[in-house]
Amino acid sequence: MSKAEAALSEPGLSCPLSKDIRKLAASFGSCEWFWVPRSQNMAALEAAKLGRGLVEAQC
C-alpha cells in the first residue's frame, strides 16, 4: 500500500469526499496514488482551502 493509499484509508478519513474518491478509483481499470508533500503542492492546498470555504479567491 502506498503512502497516499494509506492516507486515504485512515479511520479519520471517513468523510463523504474520501469515500467518493475510493469509490471512483475502484471504477477505473488502473489507478495509481502518489504522495506529494504539501510544501511541494501549494496550488492544491490553496484550491482545497477555497473548496472548503476557508479563504476567499483573490482575483
Helix (H), strand (E), coil (C) string for 17-32: HHHHHHHHHHCCCCCC
Whole-angstrom Cα distance, residue 59 to residue 41? 20
**Mean pLDDT of all residues in 6-24:** 70
pLDDT of residue 20: 85
Q: Which of 41, 48, 46, 40 is nearest to 15 (CA)?
A: 48
The tens digit of pLDDT for each residue in 21-47 reads 888 889 999 988 888 887 888 888 888
The C-alpha cell 503542492 sits at: 41
Specify the pTM.
Answer: 0.40
Type of residue at 52: R
